[in-house]
Amino acid sequence: MSNKFDVIVIGGGPGGYVAAIRAAQLGLKAACIEKWLDKDNKPRLGGTCLNVGCIPSKALLDSSHKYHDATEEFKVHGIGVEGVSMDVNAMVDRKDNIVNQLTGGIAGLFKANGVTSFEGFGKLLANKKVEFTAHDGSVETLEADNVILATGSVPVNIPPAPRTGDIIVDNEGALDFREVPKRLGVIGAGVIGLELGSVWKRLGSEVVVLEAQDQFLSLCDQDLAKEAAKIFKKQGLDIRVGARVTGSEVKGEEVEVTFLDAKGEEQKQTFDKLIVAVGRKPFTDGCLAGDSGVNLDERGFVFVDEQCATNVPGVFAIGDIVRGPMLAHKASEEGVMVADIIAGHKAQMNYDCVPSVIYTHPELAWVGKNEQQLKAEGAKFKVGKFPFAASGRAMAANDTDGFVKIIADEETDRILGCHIIGGHAADLIAQAVIAMEFGSTAEDIALTVFAHPTVSEAVHEAALAVDGHAIHIANRKRK
């Protein structure tokens, strides 16, 4: 087998494997290097997302939500259930089976598309050469006309709470609890912290979330953040903002955490498990030789232009190691764009239309700009909101928390952002993404026919509400 390729992708996560498949579909000789080993020490494609991120966490969220419905919600529908129990081992095993199916599926897609898979570690050398080290330690040098760096990210560790066995864990360890912790601490009220905290709260944990920032979910629209805080409190999540962890001590089978509260006073709390979920950082350790020529910025991200090209001709970087949000779908679309560019096609990506989602229940999803950002810019805009409490379909499903919020330009009516909290928000946001991608106005959505009864009608009504024309709620008077 020749060791010369048109494209070599270092990293087989949602950015890397998609880039390799797309390149092969376009007639390029493509290879992908992935170093991941599962807990049985077997090679696996898919990176963090499929192995210990997006997919396994959603499996646990779905299982725990079904358990919560059976114990708390079914009675509303007249369904009596007795003796409901959760087999945590079966839940975790199901999660593992889903991961195995999907990672194995990527291997099948590589074979079907003619992508050469290398199991081991890749390092970029000078002149677009790649040093490949297999898991058995053997080393060979590969050559490529183009190289795509897609090495992803790793959890951020904090000195006050270093990972310790199975007591203090990161998101990966939190996916493999084999019993429900009675007292669970979570450091970080971001996506990972809220999702994993929700999983174990539904199964019976007393969950305390310690967030260092003074504002809850500061990066999303504050209407969503305030609504989410209210709902999560009702669900029993104890979220403490302005709580700065200063230390931790494992004592037997529990951990004592020391933190400063919002008033600056020292507090101590004991947990059976502690999840550290304070964010992620780009992973480039050992991936770039000193003479590779690739520039990193001051935060360790690979410096790229709008089309993900580095300063070295023929070398690209995508996903979590470059600027922008650390999202699997952002990485995937960057992978497609870069493969198209390498194949000689024109391609670009609209970074203004990348949606974000938090998969709690209710879900939070948004795209575009929020009110805080627009006010800071001095922009003139108008807002339409519609609550799911006024949706017939949401009422029928007993899932009425939250709302849809659409922000449009005051003069042009062009949609600037959409923010949703509620059931199916992760799916509903795609309607706004498509509309924004095509430069739609709020009126365009308002004039579109939506099926009835559906939760999607809330998007329609929010668009109508932008100009005070909502049908199923009283419209606010405009100045």
The DSSP symbol for 169 reads E
The tokens for 370 are 């929020």
- CA 331 – CA 195 distance, rounded (Å): 21
CA separation for the pair 301, 323 (Å, rounded): 7
- The CA distances from residue 237 to 67, 257, 331, in Å, are 17, 18, 31
Residue whose pair of structure tokens reads 């999607």 in the numeric block: 456
Query: DSSP secondary structure string, 376-433?
Result: HHT--EEEEEEEGGG-HHHHHTT----EEEEEEETTT-BEEEEEEEETTHHHHHHHHH
Rounded Cα–Cα distance for residues 92 and 204 (Å): 16
Half-sphere exposure of 22 (CA within 13 A, CB side): 24
**Known catalytic membership, residue 452:** yes
Pair of tokens at residue 450: 């939506």
* Torsion angles phi and psi, residue 426, rounded to 5: -60, -30
Query: Do residues 72 and 61 lie in contact, with contact meaning Cβ atoms separated by under 8 Å?
Result: no
Interatomic CA distance for residues 360 and 342, integer angstroms = 38
Q: Say which residue the tokens 């950082």 belong to.
A: 281
d(CA 309, CA 293): 13
- Cβ-Cβ contacts under 8 Å for 345 (sequence gap 6 or more): 26
d(C-alpha 360, C-alpha 203), whole Å: 14
SS3 percent helix, strand, coil of the chain, rounded to 5, is: 35, 25, 40
The residue count of the chain comes to 479
**Rounded Cα gap, residues 463 and 317, in angstroms:** 38
Catalytic residue among 77, 452, 460, 472: 452
| CB 64 within 8 Å of CB 199 | yes
Residue with tokens 């599926």: 105
Smallest Cα–Cα separation from 30: which of 153, 150, 152? 150
- Alpha carbons 289 and 332: distance in angstroms, whole number: 25
Active site residues: 452
